[in-house]
Amino acid sequence: MVGILIVSHSRKLAQGIQELVSQMIQGTVPIAIAAGMDDPQRPLGTDPLQIQQAIEALDCEDGVLVLMDLGSAVLSAEMALEFLPPEQRSRVKLCGAPLVEGAIAAAVKAATGGNLDQVYQEAYQGLHAKQTHLSFEGTVANLHPATATPPPESREIHLTIGLPMGLHARPAAQLVLNAAQFQSQITLRNLTRQTSAINAKSINQVMMLGTRQGDEIAIAATGSDATAALACLQELVENHFGETDLEAPPPALAATPAIENNKLVGIPASSGIAIAPLYLYQSATSIVQHHHSDYPEIEWDELQLAIETAKKELQTLQHQTFGKTGEQQAAIFTAHSLYLSDPELLAEVQTPIFEQHFTAAAAWKNTIDRTVARYQALGDRDLQARAIDVADVGERVLRLLAGTIASRIELPEPAILVANDLTPSQTAQLDLTKVKGICTVSGSATSHSGILARSLGLPAIVGLSSQLLRQQPGTLLAMNGDTGELWIEPPPAELRQLEQKQQRQTRTTQPAVALSTPTATRDGHRVKLMANINTLADAQAVKGSGAEGVGLLRSEFLFLDRTTLPTEAEQVTIYQEIAAAVAPEPLFIRLLDIGGDKPLPYLKLPSEANPFLGYRGIRVLLDRPELLKTQLKAILRVSHQYAIKAILPMVSAIAEVQAVQEILSQAQLELQQANVGFHRQLEIGIMIEVPAAVNLSDRLAGVANFFSIGTNDLTQYVMASDRNNAQVAHLADAFAPAILRNIQQTVTNAHRAGIPVCVCGELAAYREAIPILIGLGVDEFSLPVSVIPQLKQLIAQIDGDEAGAIASAVLNLDSGAAVREYVASRFSLPL
């Protein structure tokens, strides 16, 4: 007979369920519990050893079904399985069914002689009867209400869209995020185009509305918070959805249907000239092997897990893209996450799973394919281009359902990348040292891949003839992203003209200040400019940019797109390659910074109600000392050859720094005993990201060699505003005087202790912020490679005394907007 084990944080809860189930089946099924902790002060919790012992005590030849309540109970049960012999482990199943309903259903099935698989399935079915009963009761209650309730409030407002690119994905995402905050039903109509009302909480329906600049829309809300909802959405529309780039998109030129005189003409998507061999990329899509399943509940649960994992991957990709292109372009992946939460899409995929018994993969693929077809059937080319976004998200989930790891586009040598189309995920992760330009058959100038290409500085042409895909790899191409012209094996005369134009463009964009000279203000005040990077490819772009090293290597990239932690040897190899690429300049490596918006699935971090205030950064590292020690040993080994420094993320207490120093000492001792060379005075810096670190900066300066201010997180925490929450994101303004005062306090305390301060957050990339930060005494800036040449030129035009006066004045203003206006009135920012 199959035995049942109930795992719960509460012993009393588990005992109650055990008693209830035993009475119902009259003790015919062996039932055990593993619940609570043997600690009167902390009785709630789960213990893997207790679970293992309970499984062994049941000793059921037909197997054991383990039911768990929540959170760490799942992790404890998984760990307990690892302690069991392989033979016994094969006869244990973990089940995520609801605890009470699942236990009752499983026990009844076990009592009738069901095998382990049947008991498992019955447990999953346990909630259906309750759901059906509640649905019936709800219907009856609606037919016979006990008391009369007032009709819900219903209102409608009419607004005009002022965005040059219309209601594209980023503003559509903001609309959906804002609408989702309210209980009311919210609909949207395009009055100009006379569309029907759609669900404003569905990203796909909002996108397919095809709203353009100048279109009048109607937003209607029905419910208890309708007035508040419409006020919020009206403010969002009138503020242009928070978009700062209000320039019109590139003009859509007519494309040539065929190759004429070795030339094609497509749609210019990103300016610039590129001359390089052709590299043809042919994308592969996931193939669904099985279409039928007898266990719809399991299929639905697997789909939900894949969707949640995909959301975490997108959060990581958004963070990486943010470091390369800035917040506005990275927000593309916020829209991708919303596709995965679209209520209409999820309802559509649920039906084939539960009614037609499709597998999760088959149901998901069919639903995505239908959604893509709807976009492609629209009459607007720009809207048709959004199909690639849905396909991108759909493929990500299919890959996770299949258990495969994503592959990136990797070019063996510099080339122009040619493809039918590129997804935003692929574009964001291109190696900029190898990809010199992009040419695609599909797409539009306003596609997300086009937007990302412009932000990355990659020439791009879209909408080219499919004849391009039949050209031989290695064929010489020359492209002009300004005009949309592409030459195949260009004639010598044409090639010379393009090369000359490319050289003129390079001279035009090259700053007047030589990139090789040290950065300094007009009156000779020295400022150091360094680069923020994510990968080895980023590091290879540092030289020649004017950067004086890498001020922030986000080491998370080493830990992503894999299923296990990187070994010490793997870390040594990549750190050496990156350090060599920027040598003799220094390399600052931020220790693994995960949690919050940067999950790492295989570490199985607990789910949190508020992850930004929870288990992240240094807190995770200190809780996993072996992980931390391995990374420190790898950094120490590379420090023997190169100028390496380490940065601690999310520090909020002196004890955290001291604990890291103890583990660092252990790492040094182990390397010494192994006769491995390392730099004995590795410099350790601290990320200033939370108010506690600012308030303790006088003390922290005594245990650190330098400070790095992460203005993105610091702004979020000081202003108590989640930058991913559309309703409060406007408060997360790094120009706010409160943030500038925190920077001033940090710089003052650091300089008293004789250590330098670097600003490595997005604030450093804003031209208006540079005179303020210089005036506050910031010593170093670390920012995306692409903006370094322009900021080098800008700093050369700043007078140090004038910057000091500006900084003193803005500290006493009332808002971030007032700060920007003041800087603009006092300092002429060159274009």
Q: Which residues contact 149 (CB under 8 A, 6 or more apart)?
A: none
Higher pLDDT: 232 or 133? It is 232
Whether 760 is a known active-site residue: answer: yes
Q: Which of 664, 674, 647, 641 lies closest to 591, judged by CA?
A: 647
Are 411 and 390 in contact by the 8 Å Cβ rule? The answer is no
Higher pLDDT: 501 or 323? It is 501
In whole angstroms, give the CA distance from residue 553 to residue 532.
6
* pLDDT given at position 694: 98
Are 465 and 256 in contact by the 8 Å Cβ rule? The answer is yes
Are 530 and 547 in contact by the 8 Å Cβ rule? The answer is yes
Whether 448 is a known active-site residue: answer: yes
Q: H helices within 9-47, ranges in order?
A: 11-25
Tens digits of residue pLDDT in 766-784: 888 999 999 999 999 998 8
Q: Is the pLDDT of residue 552 over 90?
A: yes
Are 476 and 455 in contact by the 8 Å Cβ rule? The answer is no
Higher pLDDT: 631 or 86? It is 631
* pLDDT given at position 142: 42
For 584-649, give the DSSP string.
Answer: TS-EEEE----BTTB--GGG-PPP-SSGGGSS-THHHHHHSHHHHHHHHHHHHHHHTTS-EEEEES
Q: Is the dihedral of CA 185, 232, 242, 774 positive or negative?
A: negative
Cut 0.85: pTM above it: no
Among all chains, which residue has been given the structure tokens 């397919």?
A: 208
> What angle separates helix 816-826 from helix 769-776, to the nearest 10 degrees?
90
Cα–Cα distances in Å, from 115 out to 4, 44, 65, 96, 530?
A: 12, 32, 10, 18, 63
In whole angstroms, give the CA distance from residue 758 to residue 783.
10
Among 252-266, 393-407, 412-426, 586-600, where is mean pLDDT lowest?
252-266
Using pLDDT thresholds of 50, 70 and 90, give the confidence band for residue 138.
Answer: very low
Of the chain, the percentage scoring pLDDT greater than 70 comes to 88
Using pLDDT thresholds of 50, 70 and 90, give the confidence band for residue 762.
Answer: confident
3-state secondary structure of 350: helix
Among all chains, which residue has been given the structure tokens 């870390």?
A: 571
In whole angstroms, give the CA distance from residue 816 to residue 736.
4
> What angle separates helix 737-752 from helix 711-718, to the nearest 10 degrees?
120
* pLDDT given at position 15: 87
Q: What is the largest CA-CA distance in the chain?
A: 93
For residue 185, report the phi and psi dihedrals to the nearest 5 degrees. -75, 130
User: How would you label 334-363 residue by residue, b for 16+ Cβ within 10 Å and e otherwise?
Assistant: bbbbbbbbbeebeebbeebbeeebbbbbbb
Q: Which of 16, 547, 571, 535 lies closest to 324, judged by CA?
A: 535
In whole angstroms, give the CA distance from residue 46 to residue 497.
72
Tens digits of residue pLDDT in 461-520: 988 888 899 999 999 999 998 888 999 999 888 888 888 888 776 654 444 455 668 899
User: How would you label 438-455 residue by residue, b for 16+ Cβ within 10 Å and e otherwise?
Assistant: bbbbbbbbbbbbbbbbbb
Q: Is the pLDDT of residue 144 over 60?
A: no
Q: Which of 44, 11, 34 lies closest to 94, judged by CA?
A: 34
Are 231 and 181 in contact by the 8 Å Cβ rule? The answer is no
Structural domains in the chain, CATH included, are 3-143 (3.40.50.510), 155-242 (3.30.1340.10), 263-284+408-509 (3.50.30.10), 296-402 (1.10.274.10), 528-785 (3.20.20.60)
Q: H helices within 766-811, ranges in order?
A: 769-776, 788-796, 800-810
* pLDDT given at position 41: 66
Higher pLDDT: 131 or 91? It is 91
In whole angstroms, give the CA distance from residue 351 to residue 382.
30
Are 774 and 527 in contact by the 8 Å Cβ rule? The answer is yes
Among 140-149, 429-438, 551-560, where is mean pLDDT lowest?
140-149
Among 385-399, 595-609, 758-772, where is mean pLDDT lowest?
595-609
Question: Please, which residues bridge with residue 528 across strands?
Answer: 780
Give the pLDDT mean for 255-261.
66
* pLDDT given at position 635: 97
Q: How many CA atoms lie within 13 A of 298 on its CB side?
A: 13
Catalytic residue among 448, 525, 730, 751: 448
Tens digits of residue pLDDT in 676-717: 999 989 999 999 999 999 999 999 999 999 999 999 899 999
In whole angstroms, give the CA distance from residue 190 to residue 219.
9
For residue 113, report the phi and psi dihedrals to the nearest 5 degrees. 95, 15
Among 55-64, 135-144, 408-417, 809-818, where is mean pLDDT lowest?
135-144
Q: Is the pLDDT of residue 265 over 70?
A: yes
Tens digits of residue pLDDT in 171-228: 888 898 889 889 899 999 999 989 889 999 988 888 888 888 899 999 999 988 899 8
Using pLDDT thresholds of 50, 70 and 90, give the confidence band for residue 530.
Answer: very high
Catalytic residue among 95, 439, 758, 760: 760
3-state secondary structure of 488: strand
Using pLDDT thresholds of 50, 70 and 90, give the confidence band for residue 143.
Answer: very low
Among 116-130, 398-412, 686-700, where is mean pLDDT lowest?
116-130
For residue 483, report the phi and psi dihedrals to the nearest 5 degrees. -110, -15
User: How would you label 523-560 residue by residue, b for 16+ Cβ within 10 Å and e otherwise?
Assistant: eebebbbbbbbbbbbbbbbbeebbbbbbbbbbbbbbbb
> What angle separates helix 625-639 from helix 654-673, to the nearest 10 degrees?
60
Q: Which of 709, 689, 760 lies closest to 534, judged by CA?
A: 760
Q: Is the dihedral of CA 135, 140, 144, 147 positive or negative?
A: negative
Structure tokens at 369: 């394919």
Strands 587-590 and 550-554, by their bridges, are parallel
> What angle separates helix 296-325 from helix 360-376, to the nearest 10 degrees?
50
Cα–Cα distances in Å, from 482 out to 109, 233, 268, 273?
A: 69, 37, 6, 8
Q: Sheet containing 64-68: give its strands across.
A: 31-35, 3-8, 64-68, 92-95
Among 112-126, 313-327, 656-670, where is mean pLDDT lowest?
313-327
Q: Sheet containing 476-480: give its strands across.
A: 263-265, 485-488, 476-480, 273-281, 415-419, 435-440, 460-462, 267-270
Q: Is the pLDDT of residue 830 over 50?
A: no
> What is the pLDDT of the chain when averaged over all its residues?
85
559-785-824 Cα angle (round to 5): 125
* pLDDT given at position 791: 87
Residue 557 has what DSSP assignment?
G
Using pLDDT thresholds of 50, 70 and 90, give the confidence band for residue 146.
Answer: very low
Higher pLDDT: 485 or 330? It is 485
Are 487 and 762 in contact by the 8 Å Cβ rule? The answer is no
Peptide bond before residue 586 is cis, with ω within 30 degrees of 0: no
Structure tokens at 507: 């001279």
